[in-house]
Structure 1
Amino acid sequence: MTGALLRIYAVLTKEFTQLSRDRITYAMILLMPLVQLLLFGYAINMDPRHLPAAVFSSDHSATANAVVSAMERTSYVDVRYLPRSTDEMDALLRRGQVMLGLTIPPDFTERVLKGDQAQVLVEVDASDPVSAASALGAVAALPDNALDRQLIGAAARPSTSPPFEVVTRRLYNPENITAYNIVPGLLGVILSMTLVMMTAMAVTRERERGTMEALLSTPATPIEIMVGKLTPYVLVGIVQTAVILVVARVLFSVPMAQTAAGWIALTFGVSLFILGNLALGYLISTLAKSQLQAMQMSFFYMMPSIFLSGFAFPFYGLPVWAQYIGNVLPITHFLRIVRGALLKQQTLSDMGPNLLALGLFVLIISTLALWRSRTTLD
């Protein structure tokens, strides 16, 4: 009995020693629960607030200003833009710079004082149904309390008659169909999950088997090796994109880009995203010592990509620090690109900031992967 316990103790000691030497796996064991706790405990919020908004007011009276102030007091929206025309308002909504647009007509105050069916127009970006519902819920109560301090004395109205009406328009997804938001987002998640993991594990597997050393005896340079290894996976990403878009249209009736400019913009965004994921997978393979480590690091990357990108939860529901992290992730910008191209008919000019972010990601990660591969191969 004593001998058996000693042998078990010896094996146990060996396993703990091996685990302590595998620093990446040990770090994952400690960090993964901590990241999950932080994400679910602090970052995830299904009640988004401080949504970016724009106000186009042709009535600069105190009455109109009171409506805007009351809307901001709800804490659901923050007025960040003051467009000077309806065209500017449309552009802000189409580019995703604002989630809500409030338009106040020039005769608003006059109609309020006369009791002549005064109206304001609220347009909301419904490509994110959860955020749109929060914004519309906040503005729906404006007629009941926005003008309490203005309509007093002779200007007071019967309590049963609101001083104005809020006319709402849901843009880009008027029927509030969740699939229009989720299915295009799945394109980004699937490409990230498969391309990063496939590339990381494939290159690591060659290093484990010793075939990578055979490349050292050839005239191929590190950049030539990287390009040669990643090119087949570019084709895999293109095929996956085509299949997902066809399924999205046939099974879920997701709108597609209506113009050649829209398809060009989408193609450009998809290409950058595929290259970025492949470069990241290659970078992971230069850091991992085994396929298990490559898989662990890929999953560690995927968790914030799903939770902090606006795919699973509203992006504006995240705290500010989580939004900063989310804006670093390429999938955040890709989701805006693919949803913009399919739902909003965006073109290259509308996608400028997001395409620039993806381009910078590709450049930085490719440079790091090439530097690491030079170090590893040399």
Structure 2
Amino acid sequence: MSGNPLALILGIAGPTLTPWETAFLREADPFGFILFNRNVESPAQIQALTETLRALVGRPDAPILIDQEGGRVRRLGPPFWRAPPPAEVFGQLFARDPDKGLEATRLNARLIAHDLGALGIDTDCLPVLDVRHPGAHDIVGDRAFAEDPAVVTALGRAVIEGLQAGGVYPVIKHIPGHGRAQVDSHEHLPVVECSLEQMEAHDLPPFRALADAPFAMTAHIVFPAIDPDAPATLSARVVEEVIRGACGFDGLLMTDDLSMKALKGSMVERTRASFDAGCDLVLHCNGVASEMEAVVSAARPLDAAGTRRWDRARAGRLAPAPCDPAALLDRLGDLLAHG
């Protein structure tokens, strides 16, 4: 394997690697991997899978991602793992008692990090920093903390602190904001008609305040006020002027899943356009072999800027602090029940 991996994060088809996947991933040498429900059976199985994936690329620190938000977006759950509440629950607690809301949010994230770390998963696609908007599509919905960007910012910081205390990299999403979308970007391309001034006042503040996060994930949304011709993921103007510029984000920028129906064109075209727009990493999730081959054929090695950002993320990663999960869970339960 080279010391400069392809700037890709790839999914796989099932709970164990097929012979084709083993050979393909060893040759492709992607930067990292992402796991979904289809990859999850038991703690021992996931531990073996994460060890196998890292051994294939010869990098013990190759990131392994998961979407473990809570509520309806989680990949781990009973009987082996706790099912965390959705973000909205913590926003509602914060509205009643800000101190308890912050504490509960931090504890919940620390418990998630504990679960992930035991499995060899070191990156969680969390926190969701999308500000909820009345009347928008429910694709964000209760995944958002609140309609107030200041609340989203405060609770987003608490999530980052909780994950990092457990040695897990956070991924802020979906930059520059998914909260106004009127359709589900998994199925359609949202077009958000608002001014840059409106975005700067309401949607961007959480991303700007938490721009020191090591990773961010883009939104597959067209913002005509900025770039009428391309969704944020594929727009050099959005990346340069808004994500890197107005938000000041200088961490590793990854696409949302390239296989989502919001995007048009072949996987080769989507991959090239993502890099041309300024994304550091391309995310492809569904594990479909033909699509993976196309994405790999169009991919580039992690470039100098991406390598610098990755080196900084690794240098800033904390070793997991000791914790008593049972005590933390008791305290969290008490806050949620009586806060």
Shorter-chain TM-score: which interval?
under 0.3
Q: Which has the higher helix share?
A: 1
Report the TM-score, using the length of structure 1 for normalisation: 0.23
Report the TM-score, using the length of structure 2 for normalisation: 0.25
Structure whose CA Rg is larger: 1
Higher relative contact order structure (alpha carbons within 8 Å, sequence separation ≥ 6): 1
